Amino acid sequence: MTDYSNNETLRRIESALEAAQAVFSRFTPGAIEAEYKIGHDPVTEADRAVDVVLRKELLRDGEGWLSEESVDDLSRLERDRVWVVDPLDGTREFVAGIPEFCVSIAMVEHGCATAGGICNPATGETFVGSLETGLNYNGKPAHASQRKNLEGALVLASRSEMKRGEWKPFENGPFKVQPMGSVAYKLARVSAGLADLTFTLTPKHEWDVAAGAALVESGGGFVSTLQATPFRCNNENPLISGLVAGATGLREELFAALESQLQLAVRKPIASSS
């Protein structure tokens, strides 16, 4: 298998994000028709067009591919390096004209999300980083929040989860809750310290969260499953129970709050090595 450097991987991610933004320039958010897949998830012409461009820009011989908009080729399970992408995370927001959607790209090596890139074409924001090089937000170095307590922390929540009432246990919590679309975009904002925490209370696919997880850890934050276990990628079934990410200093207090409010049978969080 060809040996690619970390810098070459990041160059490919940046090039793919630029190509994806060029595709988005052909579409108008809020003025595009959507079809609906089994399970009622929307999909648009933009989702499919960006998927084609990402595959062309990213994939090389010997690498695996996992995308929301591609048929899953399980040969990826035999690959050490796998691209995990969501061509358009936040399709509902895109269709509604809400500027909370993004392109999400992750490089996964031996099950670990080691590099990622996320761009929001509506806001012009770009987040790119790797565990080796750190995080850049719009081309400048950035890092996750350094907050040490939950009091007054800003937590980004799923707009759909809030509409369903799943966040009611936290209505009177010590932190501020802001609804937002696209879990990838929420993770990206947390990675750059634009919010302190985010967590999802419903299962997510790897393509939803892999890039964001790589960015949060690249920015010095923590990432784990809702059960406080390490987040791993390139599983045969790419659905995970949920994800928690944010400032390392908030990890233990947050899991205590989750266990108390949601009666989760979580393990005691493992101390961060960073």
Give the pLDDT score at 274: 29
Give the pLDDT score at 269: 42
Q: Are 58 and 12 in contact (CB under 8 A)?
A: yes
What φ, ψ does residue 24 adopt, rounded to 5°?
Answer: -65, -25
Give the pLDDT score at 41: 78
Give the pLDDT score at 71: 94
pLDDT digits (tens, 9 = 90+) for 145-189: 999 999 999 999 999 999 999 999 888 889 999 999 999 999 999
Give the pLDDT score at 215: 98
What's the CA gap between 218 and 88, in Å, rounded?
22
Give the pLDDT score at 129: 98
**Cα dihedral sign for 224, 160, 119, 51?**
positive
Mean pLDDT by 10 residues, the chain (274 residues): 73 98 93 76 90 97 96 96 97 94 98 98 98 97 97 96 92 92 97 97 95 98 93 96 96 91 53 33
Give the pLDDT score at 211: 98
Give the pLDDT score at 248: 98
- Residue 9 CB partners (closer than 8 Å, separation 6+): 107, 115, 130
Domains of the chain: 6-142 (3.30.540.10), 154-262 (3.40.190.80)
pLDDT digits (tens, 9 = 90+) for 88-119: 999 999 999 999 999 999 999 999 999 999 99
What's the CA gap between 190 and 212, in Å, rounded?
9
Tokens at 87, concatenated:
């061509």
| 267: DSSP letter | P
Q: Are 212 and 104 in contact (CB under 8 A)?
A: yes
